[in-house]
Amino acid sequence: MFLYTGVAAGFFAAVCVVAQAYVLSDIVDRIFQKKQTLADVTALLGVLLALAFLRAFIIWCSDVLAQRSASRLKGSLRQKLTQQIFALGPAYTQSESSGELVNATVEGVEVLDEYITTFQPARLLAMLVPAFVLVVIFLLDPPTTLILLFTGPILVLLLAFIGGRVKEITEKRFLELSWMSAFFLDMLQGLATLKMFGRSREQIDNIRDISRHYGATTMEVLRIAFQTGLVLEWGGTVATALVAVEISLRLMSGFLPFNRALAVLIVTPEFFLPLRQLALKYHAGTAGKAAADRIFAILDTPIKQARAPTTRSARSLPARSDIRFDHVSFAYDAGQRPALQDFSLHLPHGQTIALVGATGAGKSTMAQLLLRFIEPDRGSITIDGLPLDEIDLAAWRARVAWVPQQPHLFHGTIADNIRLARSDASEADVSAAAQAAQAHEFIRQLPQGYATPIGERGARLSGGQQQRLAIARAFLKDAPFLILDEATSHLDSVSEAAIQDALTRLMRGRTVLIIAHRLKLVYTADRVAVLDRGRVIEVGDPRALLTQGGPYQQIVASYEGAA
């Protein structure tokens, strides 16, 4: 709405220019041809001055409205992008480059500012204003319109021809910027590894080469944009000169009144001005188009929709967390990488089920299905007989506590990171959760205790400390269903023994799913399921399975032998 209002304002500014040209030609004709005095044209001079102020005000309104339109659109796009990325979930972000997504969401949306405030109004005015000027000149002097009808399309074709090259290079430039952002973010995240292997200097050289190449592409875009502007300026000047010659000949021959001839000469440049402005801003348009293509590619990525929650399930959840997987299959990369195949398993309410198996057997995929980060390709998951995809998503996740293998800690304080589990938790609740997770002691020794800021991804904490904060979140959430995905993977043997006792208390009275390679926590489970290539190949009481000589016994023997 703001954009089209701004374009309308720009159009009326052109109308003011045409009106000024007509009034000015009349003033000159009265003074130099009809020998009137300055007093005779005072009213017309007042009208001319009023038109000048009105045009300035309209242009200011046009700029303000275009800027407001851009600001509203950028805010809306960032909101939609964030919602879409959250809806697509971890499965999507893990398959994309984080730096490229950040560039599209931040820099890409910002590029749209100039696209909306300058290029889009210029593109629309380049269609509206020349048409209006052509009508005005036709009413003043029909023969002159023939010159404009001949030269105008030629200039448009030149703009389209050169602009196609600008579009190609600008799209290449945006892709290079996205790749450079992804490369730099990847380098920062792997800084310790690069220094360890002595590859820091090599990466500095890579960044220099990438920056030089990006700079060369940018200069090529500007060079072609300058050439486009030069061609349009030259073409407009030549066309205006042709009109001036044609008008002068007919004026001297007495076929055209002086005031009309002067009005046509003043108005003619306004026919070409919008085209010249469009040429100058064409590179902004192509840059915005390249950014918009990537943004809408993200927004148009299909989301695997679950069924809409029923009225009953949206209001309430099943009282029991009795979970069943019935012939569930799931594959990543559009079916190219199977993770679960015809998977069936029962997680009885109030019991602890442990999943064991080799890396890639599908254990973490099962957890992601339960968290509904992904949806099954085939089969069904039910909670106390109710299909999981019919349960309100937010209500279901509120009943699940999750301790992942690599917990993410955000830039902020210790307390803020624990309080993610429950935003309204008091300081006493946060402290109690940390004590239960055996994290209170190390937090108390930090410079500001629970108010100590930690770096992004917990940069100032050890792996074991990060894991304890994740466990503290689970204690604070106090959910009836608990998923422990390698919850003790970053702990030393002493810490693991302490956390083992805390987790045992946390699991009491809950339905628990344990995913683990280290079997100390598995030994506490009521039942164990062994996975291999996405299928359950053995399930039962862990003590009974040890006497059967099957896969579980082999896994235990291998683990204890390694220990």
**Which sequence spans correspond to the domains of the chain?**
72-299, 317-562
What Cα–Cα distance (Å) separates residue 122 from each residue in 117, 382, 551? 9, 57, 71
Note down pLDDT in tens along the chain; length 563 residues.
666 777 788 888 888 888 888 888 888 888 887 878 878 888 888 998 998 899 889 888 877 777 777 778 788 888 888 888 887 777 677 666 666 777 777 777 877 777 777 777 888 888 888 899 899 888 888 888 888 888 888 877 777 776 666 666 766 776 777 767 767 666 666 666 666 556 667 777 777 777 777 777 777 767 777 777 777 777 788 888 888 888 888 888 888 888 888 888 888 888 888 887 777 777 666 677 777 777 888 888 777 655 544 444 444 577 677 899 999 999 887 777 888 888 899 998 888 998 988 877 888 888 888 888 888 889 999 988 888 888 888 888 888 888 887 788 887 888 988 888 888 888 898 898 888 888 888 888 888 888 888 866 666 777 778 888 888 888 888 888 999 887 766 566 666 776 777 777 788 888 899 887 777 778 888 899 988 888 888 888 888 888 887 888 888 887 665 44
Contact present, 100 and 178 (Cβ < 8 Å):
yes
Characterize the bridge pairing of strands 400-403 and 352-357.
Answer: unpaired
How far apart are the C-alpha atoms of 167 and 165, rounded to whole Å?
A: 5
Q: Given the structure tokens 């099943």, which residue do they identify?
A: 318
Q: How far apart are CA 74 and CA 72, in angstroms?
A: 6
Cβ 31 vs Cβ 38: under 8 Å = yes
- Which structure tokens are listed for 542? 């862990």
CATH 3.40.50.300 fits domain 317-562: yes
To which H or E segment does residue 381 belong? strand 378-383
Query: Checking DSSP bridges between strand 386-387 and strand 323-332, what pairing results, if any?
Result: unpaired
Q: Could you write out the DSSP letters of every residue in 512-554?
A: EEEE-SSTTTGGG-SEEEEEETTEEEEEE-HHHHTTTTSHHHH
368, 286 contact by CB (below 8 A): no
Short-list 148, 143, 146, CA closest to 255: 143
Coil vs helix vs strand at 477: helix
Orientation angle between helical segments 120-140 and 258-280, nearest 10 degrees: 160
What is the distance between the alpha carbons of residues 127 and 159, in angstroms, rounded to a whole number? 13
Report the amino acid identity of residue 286.
T
Please tell me if the domain spanning 72-299 has the same topology as the one spanning 317-562: no
Q: What share of the chain is helix, strand, coil (3-state, %, to 5)?
A: 65, 10, 20
What are 539's strand-pairing partners? 529
How far apart (Å, rounded) are the C-alpha atoms in residues 501 and 497? 7
Nearest by Cα to 5 from 49, 64, 55, 50: 64
Single pTM value for the model:
0.65
The pLDDT value given to residue 75: 81
Residue 523 C-beta-side C-alpha neighbours within 13 Å: 8
What's the DSSP call for residue 308? P
Q: What is the pLDDT of residue 463?
A: 74
Task: Calculate the dihedral angle through the C-alpha atoms of 448, 450, 454, 458, rounding to the nearest 10 degrees.
Answer: 140
For residue 388, what are the CA distances in angstroms to 188, 306, 393?
39, 9, 9
Residue 198 falls in which region: left (phi positive, over 0), alpha (psi -120 to 50) or beta: left
Element (H, E) at 208: helix 200-252
Given a contact cutoff of 8 angstroms between Cβ atoms, the answer to whether 324 and 483 are in contact is: no
What is the SS3 assignment for 264-307? HHHHHHHHHHHHHHHHHCHHHHHHHHHHHHHHHHHHCCCCCCCC
Tell whether the torsion through CA atoms of 533, 538, 542 and 547 is positive or negative.
negative
What Å distances lie between residue 85 and 300, 330, 459, CA to CA?
11, 20, 25
Query: Taking Cα atoms as reference points, which of 476, 480, 529, 528 lies closest to residue 502?
Result: 476
Half-sphere exposure of 109 (CA within 13 A, CB side): 19
Task: Enumerate the H helices of 1-97 as residue ranges.
Answer: 2-28, 42-88, 90-95
CATH number of 72-299: 1.20.1560.10
CB 91 within 8 A of CB 368: yes
Distance CA 406, CA 528 (A): 23
**CA-to-CA distance for 329 and 344, rounded, in angstroms?**
9
pLDDT at 491: 64
Secondary element (H or E) of residue 435: helix 427-436
Q: How far is it between the farthest Cα atoms of the chain?
A: 121
